[in-house]
Amino acid sequence: MIIPAKRLLLAFSLTVLPASLAPLFTGYGMELFAGALLLLSMIAAVDAVASLAVLKGIAIDFPARLNMARRREAFLHVRLSHGKGRPLSLALALEIPPALSSPWTTVPVVLPEKGGDMSVSWPLTGLERGVHLIGRCRVRTTSPLGLWLAQSALDAGVGVHVYPPLHEERKKLAALFTRRNDMLLRPQRQIGRGREFEKLRNYLPGDSLGDIHWKATARRGHPVTKEFRIERTQEVYCVIDASRLSARRDADRGGVAGDSFLDACISASLLLAGIAIRQGDLFGVMTFSDQPISFIRAAGGMGHFGVCREALYQTQPSLVTPDFAETASFLASRLRRRALLLFLTSLDEPVLADAFSRSIQVLAGRHLALVHSVSPAAAHPLFSDSGADDADDLYDRLGGHLVWHGLRRTVETLRLRGVEMALTDRERFCASLAARYLNVKRRQIL
């Protein structure tokens, strides 16, 4: 593809336009005008053919994949080379999807002589999690005489993988554990009696009657006691709501859309995975909406952490109502061992809160279920601050009071069914989730 350059327009205005006035002054003015137009057309045609030949020797090498954290700048390294015997000036542009941003629109590049190449580091910032494709790259150069701009589109095929930003949450987590010395991110020695069966032994004076294995006692003819040990590896699951409830976003920050609740849940889950692995526990994750989306059984090791991260970073909220009953049945049929289930969801809608309360009974009897949610910004008691300024403000405060009252009612209902629910602000969401997990470990209630 060729585009007329400013030099071609300038040459046309300096030659053809004055020659078009020649018939007004001389008798052979038409011949002069035709000659000027023909000469400029021939020169422009030759220059256009030469400009197309310039682009044929250009080679651009792109990486197949670029990994980056959301809202952190990374660089896409592009290598260019050509087979010409002289330096070549180019303008390079990338077709960047809306989920990515860059301070550059085009970048000028001067390639060295034949045999040399050049690398360009293109700055990119990911605005949304997931995989985003940079499909094509456009290259533009000028013709030998500068009358045309030759442009071609090359396939880039770069997959940009944008992961959740964990560095900010790790800083908040470090601040939390600096203030609280009783919860350290290291394996802790557990005391007390365990729950996991280890072996049978003969009865000794002082053993509890509740520890006697009566069937073994009947077979052997003398008392036999069950011996337990403290659980070394416990299963921890984060159950993430990816329905319409998780699509709510924070306030805009500098013209950029804020994080969604699902973003907070994914970041918190990955941070908790790292902590659980360091504690020696097994970590698993599940996402759901109106049906189960993904389920990764609990395991240990940093390799498993990578599996969980790859499964979560592409998850996007679905504009559907969550089905808590289907989720509870799914988990009940697959979890045979007692586990810690951390439900990351919003229960500020009374109908959905009642549905969750009914569904969680399937799991609460066998597993330790906890609910962790972000408290809505407007949810607070009616008379907790200064008076309303006008009628609209009064109605807003009344609505916030009703939401607050509904959440308190949900918390009490779940507590009666053996499920603890915690409400926290967005800034402390990840840190408070980690604190609840470590508190369960410290109290040995799993």
Q: Which segments of 319-408 are extended strands (E)?
A: 339-344, 368-374
Cβ neighbors of 30 (< 8 A, separation 6 or more) are: 22, 23
In the chain, the percentage of residues whose pLDDT exceeds 90 is 39
- Which pLDDT belongs to residue 167? 82
- Which pLDDT belongs to residue 110? 83
- Which pLDDT belongs to residue 55? 74
Confidence of residue 445 (pLDDT cuts 50, 70, 90): confident
Cβ neighbors of 214 (< 8 A, separation 6 or more) are: none
Pick from 76-85, 131-140, 291-300, 405-414: least confident: 76-85
Contact 377, 273 (CB under 8 A): no
| pLDDT tops 90 at residue 332 | yes
| pLDDT tops 80 at residue 305 | yes
Confidence of residue 37 (pLDDT cuts 50, 70, 90): confident
User: pLDDT by residue (tens digit) across 386-400?
Assistant: 766 777 877 888 888
Q: 294: closest CA among 222, 240, 216, 213?
A: 240
Helix extents (H) in 221-337: 261-278, 302-312, 324-334
| pLDDT tops 90 at residue 401 | no
Confidence of residue 182 (pLDDT cuts 50, 70, 90): very low
Q: 55: closest CA among 105, 104, 89, 6?
A: 89
Confidence of residue 183 (pLDDT cuts 50, 70, 90): very low
Q: How far is 392 from 398, CA to CA, in rounded Å?
A: 10
- Which pLDDT belongs to residue 197? 67
Q: What is the mean pLDDT of residues 150-165?
A: 88
Fold of 167-190+230-443: Rossmann fold (3.40.50)
Q: How far is 332 from 341, CA to CA, in rounded Å?
A: 11
Contact 158, 64 (CB under 8 A): yes
Main-chain dihedrals φ then ψ at residue 372, nearest 5 degrees: -130, 125
Contact 194, 227 (CB under 8 A): no
103: buried, middle or exposed (CB in 10 Å: 19+, 13-18, 0-12)? exposed
Q: What is the mean pLDDT of residues 289-306?
A: 92
| pLDDT tops 60 at residue 412 | yes
| pLDDT tops 70 at residue 70 | yes
| pLDDT tops 50 at residue 184 | no
- Which pLDDT belongs to residue 196? 62
Confidence of residue 50 (pLDDT cuts 50, 70, 90): confident
Query: Which tops the pLDDT comparison, 103 or 83?
Result: 103
Q: Which pairing describes strands 339-344 and 292-299: parallel, antiparallel, or unpaired? A: unpaired
Q: What is the mean pLDDT of residues 320-333?
A: 94
Instruction: Give the 3-state DSSP-derived string for 131-166, with helices as H, strands as E and coil as C.
Output: EEEEEEEEEEEECCCCCEEEEEEEEEEEEEEEECCC
Q: How far is 195 from 368, CA to CA, in rounded Å?
A: 14
Query: Which tops the pLDDT comparison, 23 or 285?
Result: 285
Pick from 153-162, 171-180, 253-262, 380-389: least confident: 171-180
Pick from 13-22, 64-73, 272-281, 370-379: least confident: 13-22
Q: 309: closest CA among 176, 129, 144, 132?
A: 129
The second-level CATH assignment, the architecture, of 58-163 is Sandwich (2.60)
- Which pLDDT belongs to residue 187? 46
Q: How far is 275 from 295, CA to CA, in rounded Å?
A: 20
Around Cβ 378, how many Cβ atoms within 10 Å?
13
> What is the number of residues in the chain?
446
163: buried, middle or exposed (CB in 10 Å: 19+, 13-18, 0-12)? buried
User: pLDDT by residue (tens digit) across 199-236?
Assistant: 888 888 888 888 888 898 999 899 999 887 656 678 99
| pLDDT tops 80 at residue 193 | no
Cβ neighbors of 281 (< 8 A, separation 6 or more) are: 233, 234, 235, 236, 300, 441
- Which pLDDT belongs to residue 185? 45
- Which pLDDT belongs to residue 251? 58
Q: What is the mean pLDDT of residues 124-133?
A: 92
Main-chain dihedrals φ then ψ at residue 196, nearest 5 degrees: -90, 125
Q: 116: closest CA among 81, 79, 77, 84?
A: 81
Q: What is the mean pLDDT of residues 282-310?
A: 93
Domain spans in the chain, listed from the N-terminal domain onward: 58-163, 167-190+230-443, 196-229
Cβ neighbors of 408 (< 8 A, separation 6 or more) are: none
User: pLDDT by residue (tens digit) across 251-265?
Assistant: 554 444 578 899 999
Query: Which tops the pLDDT comparison, 170 or 253?
Result: 170
What is the edge-to-edge ordering of all strands in the sheet holding 339-344?
Answer: 292-299, 282-288, 235-241, 339-344, 368-374, 420-424
Mean pLDDT of the chain: 84
- Which pLDDT belongs to residue 195? 61
29: buried, middle or exposed (CB in 10 Å: 19+, 13-18, 0-12)? middle
Around Cβ 370, how many Cβ atoms within 10 Å?
19
**326-358 exposure pattern, b = at least 16 Cβ within 10 A, e = fewer:** ebbebbeeebeeebbbbbbbbbbeeebbebbbe
